Amino acid sequence: MSFSTFVTDKAGLQKFYEAILANNETYAPVEKFGKFDYKRVTNLSECDPASPIAKTLSMKPLFFPRSAKVMKYVATSSGTDVSEVDEDPLANKRVVLGVKHCDARSLQVLDKVYNWDYIDTDYQKRRMNTVIISTRCDKADTHCFCTSLDYDVENLDALDVRVVNGSGDKIFISARTAKGEEFLSEPVSGHMSRITDEVAGPEMKNQYAAFAGSFRLKMDYKEVNARLSKIFDTPEFENVSGNCVSCNTCAFVCPTCHCFKISDEKVKDTGVRYKSYDSCNNGYFTLMAGGHNPRPAKYRRWRQRAMHKFVYYKERFGENLCVGCGKCTISCPVNISIFEVVNQVSVSMQE
């Protein structure tokens, strides 16, 4: 199917966002302490859909909450009553504004694990009910490498509606999926003019070319996939992970990391079970009762992290478990970069 493209300007884009906010449950990047997190918003002034990529947290929590109640229970004299928690606050029909392309792509990657075998119906419902409005970046940040990975950033269909800055004051708004096409109907687009691909296409191409030319980091992911898949025992993993303080921040900010833990908390006779983020960098992650731990050393946990992202997930689900957003590197307190880790280990294998 062919999708519509509209042309507008800054004021028109503002009006577009305002129309969305007026008629939809809307989430967008909201600034707090210099960082942007995706929150429910009712007024455009509360948020910034053009928030800088390096200061914006992933929207993953809108699909996979940082810590969610799974159930409650009460121990009574006659037995244990287990009750499911209230309705899913993330299951409503909703729109997310200001999503970065890499972050949108991460949902396509996560779909694979959530729709495998046991289907995560909560995730699926959140996903189905969400319209993603994404602005294509104009310039890569220091740690960005999305264009080096296994997805087509220019023609990404992980987002429903794409906003691209054209020359001068022009802004192009295009549907990228059937859901996006439906969304761009009269109420939100009535003030904008339709434009043909012949006219808009070259301008959007130029924008992409300038963006693609701005990357500091470049790699050949196929080469990295191939080299890493041939190695397991290499001292290089010790070299690259030496500074890691096992704080797990990289996993918590990563848009594709999906490991979690199940924990129970009980006060007197009432308890709650939580499902919360966890990380393979955590030394207790694979520790078994009795003391056996298949990944007792930090370099083994880093090997797991790197290999899961660039070998295991690829083998299992056909995608890299990395979208090249650089969030882990930006947030790392000891400046470890996943880009450098996989490249350094790969290169060491070449020599």
Partner 1 sequence: MEKLLVPTICKVDKVIQETPDIRTYRLKFRDEGLMEQFTFLPGQFVEFSLLGSGECTFCIASSATRKGYFDCSIKKAGVVTADIHTNIEEGDEVGIRGPFGNWFPLDDIKGKNLLFVGGGIGLAPLRSLIQFCIDNRGDYKDFTILYGARTSADLCYKDEIKEWQDNKSLRVVLTIDKPEETWNDNVGVVPKILEEVVKPVIENTSVITCGPPIMIKYTIQSLLKLGFADKDIITTLEMKMQCGLGKCGRCNIGSTYVCKDGPVFTNEQLKSLPDEF
Binding site for partner 1 (CB under 8 A): 68-71, 73, 75, 79-80, 82, 84-85, 88, 113-114, 116-118, 120-123, 232, 258-266, 271, 273, 275, 278, 280, 285-290, 292, 294-295, 300, 304, 307-308, 311-313, 315-316
19 vs 68 by CB, closer to partner 1: 68
Task: Choose between 217 and 321: whose C-beta lies nearer to partner 1.
Answer: 321
H or E element, residue 112: helix 101-114
Toward partner 1, which CB reaches closer, 108 or 282? 282
**Which contiguous run of DSSP H or E holds residue 252?**
helix 249-253
Location of structure tokens 């940082």: 66
Alpha-carbon distance of 49 to 133, in angstroms, equals 9
Question: Which residue lies nearer to partner 1 by CB, 176 or 305?
Answer: 305
Q: Look at residues 203, 198, 137, 138 and name the one whose alpha carbon lies nearest to residue 166.
A: 203
Give the shortest CB-259-to-partner 1 separation in angstroms.
3
Residue 332, sorted as left (phi over 0), alpha (psi -120 to 50) or beta, turns out to be: beta
CA distance 219 to 217: 7
Compute the least distance from the CB of residue 64 to partner 1, in Å.
9
Q: How far apart are CA 252 and CA 255, in angstroms?
A: 8
Q: Are 137 and 100 in contact (CB under 8 A)?
A: yes
CB of 268 to partner 1, least distance (A): 10
> Count of alpha carbons within 13 Å of 253, Cβ hemisphere only?
23
Q: Which is nearer to partner 1, 32 or 222 (CB)?
A: 222
For residue 82, the minimal CB distance to partner 1 (Å) is: 6
CB of residue 289 to partner 1, shortest distance in Å: 3
Structure token digits, residue 311: 């070998």
- Pick between residue 184 and residue 321 the one whose CB is nearest to partner 1: 321
Q: Which is nearer to partner 1, 214 or 286 (CB)?
A: 286
Three-state DSSP class for residue 76: strand
Choice between 215 and 317, CB closer to partner 1:
317
Strand 260-267, strand 270-277: pairing: antiparallel
Q: How far is the CB of 279 from partner 1 (least distance, A)?
A: 9
| Contacts of 103 by beta carbon, 8 Å cutoff, 6+ apart | 58, 59, 60, 134, 255, 323, 325
Instruction: Judge whether 123 and 195 are in contact, CB under 8 Å.
Output: no
Instruction: Report how far residue 163's alpha carbon sits from residue 136's, in angstroms, rounded to the nearest whole number.
Output: 6
Q: How far is the CA of 90 from the CAs of 42, 60, 65, 119, 152, in angstroms?
A: 16, 12, 9, 17, 28
- Least distance between partner 1 and beta carbon 71 (Å): 5
How long, in residues, is the chain? Answer: 351
